[in-house]
Amino acid sequence: MKFTLSWLKDHLETDANLEQICERLTAIGLEVEDVDDKAAYKPFVIAKVLSAEKHPEADRLKVLSVDAGPDVNGGKPLQIVCGAPNARAGLVGALARPGDYVPGIDVTLAIGKIRGVESHGMMCSEKELNMSEDHNGIIDLPEDAPVGTSFAAYAGLDDPMIEINLTPNRPDCTSIYGIARDLAASGLGTLKQRAEPQLKLEGETSVGLSIDLDDENLCPGFGLRLVRGVKNGASPAWMQTRLKAIGLRPINALVDITNYMTFDQGRPMHVFDAAKVKGDLVVRRASEGETILALDTREYKLSPSNVVIADDNGVESIGGIMGGEHSGCDENTVDVLIESALWDPINIAKSGRALGIITDARYRFERGVDPDYMLPGLDRTTQLVLELCGGTAAEAKVVGYKAYEPKVVDFPFAEVKRLTGLEISSDESRQILDRLGFTVEGSGERVSVKVPSWRPDVDGKADLVEEVMRIHGVDHIKPEPLESIGSVNGKILTTLQIRTRTAKRALAARGMLEAVTWSFIPEAQAKLFGGGAPSLKLANPIAADMSDMRPSLLPGLLTAAQRNADKGLGDVAIFEVSGTYENDTPEGQRRVAGGVRRGTASINGAGRLWSNGAKGGGKPVDVYDAKADALAVIEACGLPMSNVQVEKGGPAWYHPGRCGTIKMGPKIVLGTFGEFHPKTLSALDVSGALCGFEVYLDAMAEPKKKATRTKPPLELSPFQAVKRDFAFVVESTVEAGAIVKAATSADRKLISGVNVFDVFEGASVGEGKKSVAIEILIQPVDKTLTDEDFEALTAKIVANVVKVTGGVLRA
Amino acid sequence: MSDLENLKTSLLAEIEGASDEASIEAVRVNALGKKGSVSELLKTLGGMSAEERQTRGAAINALKTEVTEAITSRKTMLKDAAIDARLKAETLDVSLPVRSSPAERGRIHPISQITDEITAIFADMGFSIAEGSDVETDYYNFTALNFPEGHPAREMHDTFFFQPDEKGERKVLRTHTSPVQVRTMEAQDPPIRIIIPGKTYRQDSDATHSPMFHQVEGLVVDKKAHVGNLRYVLEEFCKTFFEVPSVTMRFRPSFFPFTEPSFEVDIQCDRSGPIVKFGEGTDWMEILGCGMVHPNVLRAGGLDPDEYQGFAWGMGLDRIAMLKYGMPDLRDFFNADVRWMNHYGFRPLDMPTLFGGLSQ
C-alpha cells in the first residue's frame, strides 16, 4: 500500500514530520517498507536561458547563459554547454549544478570543459530526472515558472512517498483515510472528518438492476448511479500527480476517479459507459465457459463460481475483480453508470486466484470492504465525477443492501493485563477503542464493545487487547522472566531425538559429511527404492523431478555423491539423518540414518597415501565399509550389540551377493548395508565404487528402564586368559560367521571371544575352498586350566566347527 | 709382583681391544670365569701365609677389582654404542604425511548444529523438544491454526498438496512447524514449554527461499504467560544465540492467524558491512514472528482460552544460521556439495553447550 505524505495530510491534521510518521506507522503495526523522501530532487532549481549561442568548436552544441535567480552564483548568470535541440533563449527549465547528483544518468556533476568551453551545470531532460523516458530535449516549462525556486516543489515531485507492508487482517488500512484514522488514534494528529457530499439529484437511474444469486452473501449489496452528460477528458494534474506517485497510470477522469477512491477510501468503484450497456444489469453467476474481454485486454474464461455483472450483451464485468473492455469508459463517454458494490471476500479470493487476476479491487474485496461506506462511497464518487466531468446525477438504484449489524464483544479490561502484562487503566483502554471507532458501552471493568464496520478482523477479546496494546505502544511492555517450572525437568529430548543426534555425531566422527537432501525425489527413483505410492505424490511439485516423497535416503545421497564426482570430487563420504516416507500418516514417516561412501573414501581417509602400501593406492570402498558404518550407528545408539545379528541379503537395490540386513531378534530390521546393484546405479545414472547403508533409528526399542544408575560390579578373573589359533579349510560358500558361531558355542563360559584374522583362497587349499583362521580367547573362570582341559576344549571347538561347516582343521 | 703387573697390563689391553659385547664377554670369562687367569690367582690365596696374604693377596684382590671395573665400564660403553647404532639404523622420515583423524574430517550440517545450539539454550529455560511429521492434514496445518477456509493468509503459504484421497481430502506438506502446537496441546496437559524444530515446505525458490527449508518455533501454554514473558524469552534467546552481551529488539504489531496479538520482531544490527553484526549498529532486521496463542488455537487444542493462555514464536532455522554463520545462499544448504559442507559444516566434537560455548 503506497501513498504520499500530502495525500495522507488530506485526512490527517498533524505537525509530525515524515520520520515521526514513519516511526509511528511501524509502531502501530503498519510496517513501513519503503520511504522515498524525494530528497534526490531537492537540488534542482528552475532556471531561465538568457541566451543560447553556437559553440565555437561544435555545430551541435550551444553555449547558454542561464539565470537561476538571486541565490545561485550571486545572481550572476551561469555558463552552460548544452546539446539539446530545444535549448533556446527564453526557455525556462530545470537546472542541475556542479555537485548535484542527476539520478537519470547516475552522475554527480562537476564543472566541465566541453570542447574548450567551461560548463557550470546542466539543463535537465525529464529522463535525466527520472520523471519519464523523454529525452528528446530539456524540460521546457511555462514562461511564468518561478525562476530560482525548487523545481521539485513546482512539479510536485517533492511529495514524500511511503509504502507500508499491510498485513491481510487490516482491510481498513487499504485506504489512506484508514491509515490516517489509525495514526490519529495513536495520538499523532487529528483525523479530518469526511464531508458528506451534497448532491443535486435529478431523475432516475434508468437501467434495470437485479441480483440473481443462490447465495446472498456473494453480493450483499449493489448500488448504481447514472450520471448524464459528462465530459470524460484527462483528470486534473493534482490527481494525476498523486496517482503517478503511487505507481498508477492516469487513463481518463472517470477511470482515475475510481482508482482515486480505491486508494483514498479503500472503496473500489467501477464505471460503465451507459451507452454500451444493453438492457438491464444483473448480478449473477457466470455460465460455464462464458468469456469476457477484460480491461487488461485479456480474455478470461469464466465458470459458475465467478460472480459477474451482465447485460443483454453478456458479461460486462467480473464482480469486484475487473471490469470488461466492452463497456469501459473512454473520451466519448457521455452517460456513465457508477457501481459501488459489496462482494464475498472468500469468493473474490477464489475467483481471483482461479482466473489469475490481481487488481487493486480484488486486493481490497478479498480482505473486506467497509459495508457501511458502500453508499457514501457512491455519493463521494458521484461528487468527484460532477466536479471533474460535469453532468447531472440521478437517484441511485440499490439492491440487496442491508445496514451493517455491528459485532459486539464482551470485554473485561483486565484482559489487557492478562495477555500483555501491561498496566493500562480502563479509561485509557476505553479511549483508545473509542478513537479507533469502536463503541464502548457500559461502565466499570467489563464492557460491551461494538466493532466498527471497517474492522471485520476483530472478533473477540484478544483482538481488542491487540488494538489497545498497539495504540498504547508495544515498547511499554517490559521483559519479564518466565517462572521456573519444576527443579528437575527430566529429559529434554526423547530417545529418538537423542539417537538422531548421536547418530549424526557418530557418523561425522567417522569422517563423513552431513548432507541435507530433498525430501522429494523423481518418481523413477522413488519407485526404484520401493516408493512411488500415489498418496505420496505431490499434486503441485515445484519441478517434475521433485515429485515423490522419498522412500529412502539412498537415492538422494547417491546422486549427490555423483554430483560431487562430476566436479572432480570422487572420493566422498556423506550421510544424512532424516525422514523417509512409507505412507502419508505421521507414523509412516521413518527416522533413518543413511550414508554413502564413494571411491576410496574409507574411514581412514581417501585417496593415495604412502602408508596404504603398494604405490599408495587407496582401496575402493566396499560392503565392509558400509557394514562398519551401519554397526557404528547402532552401537552409538546404545543397543546391546550381542543381540544384533547380520544376515546376508537385503533389498533389491543392493548387490545381491554383497549386502546384508541387520536385525534385532527375528523381526526387527535395524538396517541394511551393501554395495549397489549395477542396475540401480545405471538407473540413477551414477557410477564408481559405491557402498551405502540405512539404519532405522525409529525401529530401535527404548532402552530398558534401570532401577539404579549404579553399574554392576567389575568382576576380574584372577586367572590368565589364553589365546589359541585355529584354521579351518571349508567350502568357499561357508560363511565365516557360521564358523565363529560354531566355535563360540563350544563353551560359552570359557570362550570370551572369537576373532577371524585371516581368510585365504588359493591353490594350496584346493579349488572352491578357503581357509579361515580364527583366534579364540579363553578366559578361565574358576581355576587355571590343565593341559587336559585345553585338549578337551580344543577338541570340542574343532568338532563343532567341522560338524556345522563340513570343513576340516587345517594341518 | 711383576707377574701381576704384566697380567693386569695384558688384561686391560684386551678389555680395551674388545670391540663388541661378545668379545668383552670372552675377555671376562678368560679373566674372571671359573678358570680365568684372575680366578686362578684367587685360588692361590688359600695356600698363602698370613704375611703373603697381606701383600700378594691384597694385590690379587686389587687386580680383580680393577679388571672387573674395567670390564663393566667397557661393557656399558659397548652396550650404549650398540643402542646408538641401532637407533641410528631405525631412524625414519617423520616428514612423511599421516592420516588426519576421521573426527577432524567429518562435518555436521549447519542445520543440525544450529538445532543443537537452540536446544542447549531452551533446555536451560525448561523447554523440551517436540517434533511432528512433514506430511500433514489440512486440519492441523491450517484449520486448527485458525486459518479460515479461503482466507488470503492461506494463499500466503504457497502450499504443496498431495493428490486428494477417495474422500476428496488432500494432505499437505506442512508449511510451518505450527501443526505440532495443536498436536502437543491435544497430547499433553499444560504447563507446556516446547521447542519445535523441523522441515517445512513452500512452493518458492530463490536465494533466500527454498521449496524445503527449516523452521524452529516455541510454544508456552500455562495460566499466566504473557507478552512480557515472551519478550524476555526472545531477548534471552537472541543474546545467547548470537553470542553478544546485549541485543535491542523491536516488537512490531503484526498479523498471524494463529496468534492474537501478533508481532514481528526486529533486531538491531549493523548491516553496513558484508556481515551482519548484532548488538551494535542502527539498522533493523526482521528475525521472527510471534504472539499470544489465538483463542481458537487453544480451543482446537482442547483448552479453555479463559483459563489457559500462552505464546508462540517461530523463525527460519536456515535463516538464523545464515545470519550467524554467513552462508550467502539458502539453496546451497541442500546441494550436498562437499566443498560447502567442509567449509560451513561443524566438526563432530564441537558440540554446542552452555558451559563450553555455543560455537567454538
pLDDT in tens, A547-566: 999 999 999 999 999 999 99
Note whether A563 contacts B336, CB cutoff 8 Å. Answer: yes
pLDDT confidence tier of residue B276, bands split at 50, 70 and 90: confident
Residue B156 confidence (pLDDT) above 90:
no
pLDDT in tens, A259-284: 999 999 999 999 999 999 999 999 99
Q: Burial letters for A487-510: b for 16+ Cβ neighbours within 10 Å, e otherwise?
A: eeeeebeebebbbbbbbbbbbbbb
Contact B195, B130 (CB under 8 A): yes
Report which residue type is found at A300.
Answer: Y
Residue A531 confidence (pLDDT) above 80:
yes
Note whether A421 contacts B334, CB cutoff 8 Å. Answer: no
Note whether B127 contacts A480, CB cutoff 8 Å. Answer: no
A contacts of B235 (beta carbons < 8 Å) = 479
pLDDT in tens, A21-58: 999 999 999 999 999 988 888 889 999 999 888 888 88
A408-412 and A122-123 strand pairing: unpaired
B contacts of A536 (beta carbons < 8 Å) = 135, 162
pLDDT in tens, A186-223: 999 999 998 888 999 999 999 999 999 999 999 999 99
- CB of B132 within 8 Å of a chain A CB? The answer is yes
B contacts of A170 (beta carbons < 8 Å) = 255
Return residues 577-596 of A near B (CB < 8 Å): 577-579, 581, 584-586, 588-589
pLDDT in tens, A361-384: 999 999 999 999 999 999 999 999
- CB of A544 within 8 Å of a chain B CB? The answer is no
Note whether A465 contacts B135, CB cutoff 8 Å. Answer: no
Note whether B336 contacts A603, CB cutoff 8 Å. Answer: no
A contacts of B294 (beta carbons < 8 Å) = 462
**C-alpha grid cell for residue A204?**
432516475
Which residue in A150, A139, A133 sits closest to A87, CA to CA?
Answer: A139
Residue A773 pairs in a beta bridge with: A727, A758
User: Which residue reads 693386569 in cell numbers?
Assistant: B8
Mean pLDDT is highest, among B149-158, B240-249, B299-308, for B299-308
Q: Whole-model pTM?
A: 0.87
Return d(Cα B116, Cα B123) in angstroms, integer: 10
Note whether B294 contacts A504, CB cutoff 8 Å. Answer: no
Over residues A725-735, the mean pLDDT reads 93
Note whether A589 contacts B149, CB cutoff 8 Å. Answer: no
- CB of A26 within 8 Å of a chain B CB? The answer is yes
The per-residue pLDDT of chain B, averaged, comes to 91
Contact B31, B67 (CB under 8 A): yes
3-state secondary structure of A211: strand
3-state secondary structure of A333: coil
- CB of A354 within 8 Å of a chain B CB? The answer is no
Residue A747 confidence (pLDDT) above 80:
yes
Return d(Cα A152, Cα A42) in angstroms, integer: 7
Q: What DSSP designation does A749 have? A: T
Min CA distance, B345 vs chain A (Å)? Answer: 8
**Nearest residue in chain A measured CA to CA from B213:** A518
Confidence (pLDDT) at A337: 96
Cis peptide before B261 (omega within 30 of 0): yes
Note whether B126 contacts A519, CB cutoff 8 Å. Answer: no
- Extended strands (E) in A229-334: 270-273, 281-285, 291-293, 299-301, 307-311, 314-318, 322-323
The per-residue pLDDT of chain A, averaged, comes to 92
Note whether B232 contacts A480, CB cutoff 8 Å. Answer: yes
Return residues 41-70 of A near B (CB < 8 Å): none
Which residue in A418, A412, A463 sits closest to A436, CA to CA?
Answer: A463
* Dihedral of alpha carbons A363, A366, A372, A378, sign: positive
- CB of B108 within 8 Å of a chain A CB? The answer is yes
A58-67 and A45-55 strand pairing: antiparallel
**Nearest residue in chain A measured CA to CA from B173:** A538
A16 or B275, which is more confident? A16
pLDDT in tens, A621-663: 999 999 999 999 999 999 999 889 999 999 999 999 999 999 9
User: Which residue reads 453508499 in cell numbers?
Assistant: A375
Return d(Cα A120, Cα A76) in angstroms, integer: 12
Residue A750 confidence (pLDDT) above 60:
yes
Contact B317, B216 (CB under 8 A): yes
Return residues 152-171 of A near B (CB < 8 Å): 167-170
Residue A230 confidence (pLDDT) above 60:
yes
Return d(Cα A666, Cα A117) in angstroms, integer: 98
pLDDT confidence tier of residue A488, bands split at 50, 70 and 90: very low
Note whether A535 contacts B165, CB cutoff 8 Å. Answer: yes
Confidence (pLDDT) at B171: 93
Contact B223, B309 (CB under 8 A): yes
E strand or H helix at B153, and its extent?
Answer: helix B152-155
| Own/partner pairs, A775-778, CB within 8 angstroms, 24+ separation | A775/A723, A775/A724, A775/A725, A776/A723, A776/A724, A776/A725, A776/A726, A776/A743, A776/A751, A777/A721, A777/A722, A777/A723, A777/A751, A777/A752, A777/A753, A778/A721, A778/A722, A778/A723, A778/A724, A778/A750, A778/A751, A778/A752
How many CB atoms are located within 10 Å of the residue B189 CB?
A: 10
Residue in A542, A562, A582 to test binding to B, most B beta-carbons within 10 Å = A542
B contacts of A460 (beta carbons < 8 Å) = 260, 295
Considering only the beta carbons, identify the residue of A347, A478, A492 that sits closest to B123.
A492
Diameter over CA atoms, chain B: 132
Residue A450 confidence (pLDDT) above 80:
yes
pLDDT confidence tier of residue A599, bands split at 50, 70 and 90: very high
pLDDT in tens, B175-234: 999 999 999 999 999 999 999 999 999 988 887 789 999 999 999 999 999 999 999 999
**C-alpha grid cell for residue B149?**
477456509
Residue A521 confidence (pLDDT) above 90:
yes
E strand or H helix at B197, and its extent?
Answer: strand B192-201
Note whether A478 contacts B345, CB cutoff 8 Å. Answer: no
Over residues B331-352, the mean pLDDT reads 95
Mean pLDDT is highest, among A237-246, A277-286, A613-622, for A277-286
Considering only the beta carbons, identify the residue of B129, B163, B227 that sits closest to A477.
B227
**Nearest residue in chain B measured CA to CA from A509:** B103
Which residue in A170, A231, A129, A232 sits closest to A25, CA to CA?
Answer: A170
pLDDT in tens, B277-297: 888 888 899 999 999 999 999
**Nearest residue in chain B measured CA to CA from A467:** B261
Note whether B135 contacts A536, CB cutoff 8 Å. Answer: yes
3-state secondary structure of B18: coil
Phi-psi region at A775: left, alpha or beta (left = phi > 0; alpha = psi -120 to 50): beta
CB pairs under 8 A between A and B: 275
Confidence (pLDDT) at A57: 86
**Nearest residue in chain A measured CA to CA from B109:** A514
Return residues 24-83 of B near A (CB < 8 Å): none
Confidence (pLDDT) at B152: 59
Considering only the beta carbons, identify the residue of B109, B151, B201 that sits closest to A515.
B109
Confidence (pLDDT) at A487: 47
Return residues 1-30 of B near A (CB < 8 Å): none
Note whether B341 contacts A578, CB cutoff 8 Å. Answer: no
Return residues 498-527 of A near B (CB < 8 Å): 501, 504-520
- Angle (nearest 5°) at CA A755 between A752 and A756: 160
B contacts of A574 (beta carbons < 8 Å) = 336, 338, 341
Q: What are the residues whose beta carbons fall under 8 Å from the beta carbon of A731, sequence distance 6 or more?
A: A768, A769, A770, A805, A806, A807
B contacts of A510 (beta carbons < 8 Å) = 102, 106
Return d(Cα A274, Cα A225) in angstroms, integer: 10
Which residue in B322, B334, B252, B206 sits closest to A515, CA to CA?
Answer: B334
Note whether B150 contacts A349, CB cutoff 8 Å. Answer: yes
